[in-house]
Amino acid sequence: MARDLQSGKIVALKRVRFLNMDPESVRFMAREIHILRRLDHPNVIKLEGIVTSRLSHSLYLVFEYMEHDLAGLAVTPGLRFTEPQVKCFMRQILAGLHHCHGRGVLHRDIKGSNLLIDDNGVLKIADFGLATFFDPAKTQHLTSRVVTLWYRPPELLLGATEYGVAVDLWSTGCILAELLAGKPIMPGQTEVPNY
């Protein structure tokens, strides 16, 4: 958390160290910035700027500040979301994903900690570190090593390298079930089932 000295606005900083960074890490960071600059929607986190620091050998991505994340709220003792709240959150997630998918972006890591919520109940999809561009009209090979395990769809668990928006929608369905059940529905430590 930081304050923009010009506007006085509270912002969030994501620190990316670039000391001895390998080319692959730089490529991923550049892709995330490129993706964030392409997106502009009320339910997608807004990249407000980029700040560099030669002293700390870091790059800071500057975002609008959000007070909470869905995962943190979901485990708050005594807090249980009402059905209207769940519907409101789901509508916002789906609206944000519709925008991303319409601009050729797969998020590939929808989970509660990447869904930020402000004090007014506005939800924004964040953390595009695993996101990628896609074209539904073309076949492209992608990695199956994306999406946090508890929210990973079956095709990725089975090693699929050709997929589309369904991976984000599966994760969103897991979020819906989690909000209604009050706990994650498919927690696991490994991709291999224990029989």
Question: Active-site residues: which are they?
Answer: 109
Backbone angles phi, psi at 57, to 5 degrees: 55, 45
Which residue stretches of the chain are H helix?
23-38, 70-74, 83-102, 154-157, 166-181
Residue 137: strand, helix, or coil: coil
Q: Which tokens belong to 111?
A: 């989970």
* 63, β-bridge pairs: 12, 47
Displacement of CA 45 from its chain's centroid (Å): 9
Q: State the Cα–Cα distance between residues 51 and 17, nearest whole angstrom.
A: 12
Q: Name every residue whose Cβ is closer than 8 Å to that of residue 14 and which is 6 or more positions away in sequence.
A: 60, 61, 63
Buried b or exposed e, range 120-139, using 16+ CB within 10 angstroms: eeebbbbbbbbbbebeeeee
